[in-house]
Chain A
């Protein structure tokens, strides 16, 4: 149990375009979802936390207008990178936790390359 999927697993886009990444909890209701960013050979940095039906809470330094997060249902959260630039190229990982559960279950990640 506790499976989280991400789609797509990798995406290449041109500079200036927007890209949407989906994160789904397949077998549980995810009341909270987290989005992380991981640069090559570096650790995961929390970008934002989203609770179902509420606005996402962004970490300091993360541009909320650039990284749009929507958590419209208990099984789906999306991250949209708007007007992507090469410096946005990274590995984006989501995680999800259920009600009354502290543990986070991680998705397999999405590799974004902006050309």
Chain B
């Protein structure tokens, strides 16, 4: 079964500082990986995704993530955080075949607080 772990429940950074949110996954084959952002009381917005190819993926809002198969990780990064980035971030793994095809399993989420 696929699973996702986000080790950090809450992260606080200063505006302008760099950011890295950790994500580790468990999946039997090459996974489909996603990062979503959720503002309070809102749905999810896709930041970026990895299906195959280049392991460094660029997303919206200046975010990027790197797929590292050897570490089963897909960490999200941003070089300079803006106050508007404060939100909750979810990493997800998608089933690539069989009965799990298309189904997303989400991590527990990381709440990002940005200090001015």
Is B56 in the interface zone, CB < 8 Å from A? Answer: no
Shortest Cβ gap from A31 to chain B (Å): 10
- B15-53 vs A, CB cutoff 8 Å, 1 = contact: the mask equals 000000000000000001000100001111110010100
Is B58 in the interface zone, CB < 8 Å from A? Answer: no
Do residues A42 and B108 form an inter-chain contact, with CB atoms below 8 A? yes
Shortest Cβ gap from B91 to chain A (Å): 10
Dominant secondary structure at the A interface: strand
Chain A residues with CB under 8 A of B41: 91, 109, 111
Shortest Cβ gap from B90 to chain A (Å): 7
Do residues B102 and A102 form an inter-chain contact, with CB atoms below 8 A? yes
Query: In this complex, what residue of A is CB-closest to B101?
Result: A102
Interface residues on B, range: 20 to 34
Interface residues on A, range: 20 to 34
Question: Which among A93, A102, A106 has the highest number of chain B CB atoms within 10 Å?
Answer: A102
Do residues B43 and A103 form an inter-chain contact, with CB atoms below 8 A? no
Residues of chain B touching chain A, judged by Cβ–Cβ distance below 8 Å, are: 32, 36, 41-46, 49, 51, 90, 94, 102-109
Q: Sample 8 A-B pairs with CB under 8 A, ordered by A number.
A: A34-B102, A42-B109, A43-B90, A43-B109, A49-B103, A95-B44, A102-B94, A108-B42
